[in-house]
A and B are shown apart, each in its own frame.
Chain A
Amino acid sequence: MKMIKSTLIILLFFFNLNPIKADENELQNKIAKNLRCLICQGQSVYDSDSEFANSVKLVIKKKLQEGSSEDQIYNFLTTKYGEWILYDPKFNKNTYFLWLLPLLIFLFGGAIIFKKLIK
């Protein structure tokens, strides 16, 4: 009876652990997908199997295990490699044009359509 009980407890423990691990892997993959592999052509760190990408994946894993948040990992890698490593560049004076141009084009197009409709 005791044996069954302890086996059950151990099994329960493992079943409880799996979702945590799955979450961690999911976050790890998400971060790797948002990072550019700097030595590859058009591949993310997640997609690439280069030495560089594999090391970055390891760093992400280590940082997550140490309790770093997603943003902290992005910040860490940005200080090492510059903003280019991020697929989703932050909104700052270098990226105003990048972020606002589509919106401006959209507004401009909308204004033309609006003017035509009113006519």
Chain B
Amino acid sequence: MKKKLISFAVFLSFVFVFIIFFKGLNKSNQYEPKSNILNIPEFTTITFFNKKEINSNNIFNQNKFYLLNIWASWCLPCKDEHSLLLNLSKNDKLDIIGLNYKDNQRNAKKFINELGNPYKKILLDKDGTTAIEWGAFGVPESFLIYQNKIIKKFIGPLDKNSYEEIVKLIQ
């Protein structure tokens, strides 16, 4: 009886370990922060071109959709998504706001001149602290905003699927 019990316990623990590994190894190891931010954070920053101080209340104040896109000239995936951003900028219902993340001003201007400017406004985040306010952890990252609320967050470069999702959401 005791032997049977022990072998059953060993069998059970094997099954338990198997399930843990099977589930664990199938899970993506890329962590997506479970952010509790629903409303957009309030912050003050400087604009890219004329270096004027601006508050977030004066940026997202119209009754339309906004896409805040965190980008940098040194970020290669940002180049990949740039054509999609240019396409999205043609949509009247959407304003794209750029947040230039820890970048060299000259390189950033070159990036915009070469690839085009999809942004209605570009804000500066020289030390990366504004991105932290948004709960972002890298570049590129995009936030779809409507009436001061974050509707959807896109971590990493936008692709065809996320592009279509945005188009659908703003219709």
Contacts and interface: CB of A to CB of B under 8 A. Distances in A.
Contact residues of A: prevailing secondary structure = helix
Given A38-B31, A38-B137, A51-B102, A82 B128 contact: no
Interface residues of B, number: 18
A27 to B, nearest CB: 18
Contact residues of B: prevailing secondary structure = loop
A79 B37 contact: yes
B129 A55 contact: yes
B64 to A, nearest CB: 26
A46 B39 CA distance: 29
B127 interface: yes
Interface string B33-56: 111110000000000000000000
Given A39-B138, A51-B102, A82 B34 contact: yes
Contacts of A83: 34
B159 interface: no
A96 B34 CA distance: 19
B33 A85 contact: yes
Interface of A: 38-39, 51-52, 54-56, 58-59, 62, 78-85
Given A51-B138, A81-B33, 10 more contacts: A54-B128, A55-B128, A56-B132, A59-B132, A62-B129, A80-B35, A80-B36, A80-B132, A81-B137, A83-B34
| Pairs of residues from A and B, 7 with the lowest C-beta to C-beta distance, nearest first | A55-B128, A82-B34, A80-B135, A81-B33, A79-B36, A52-B137, A59-B132
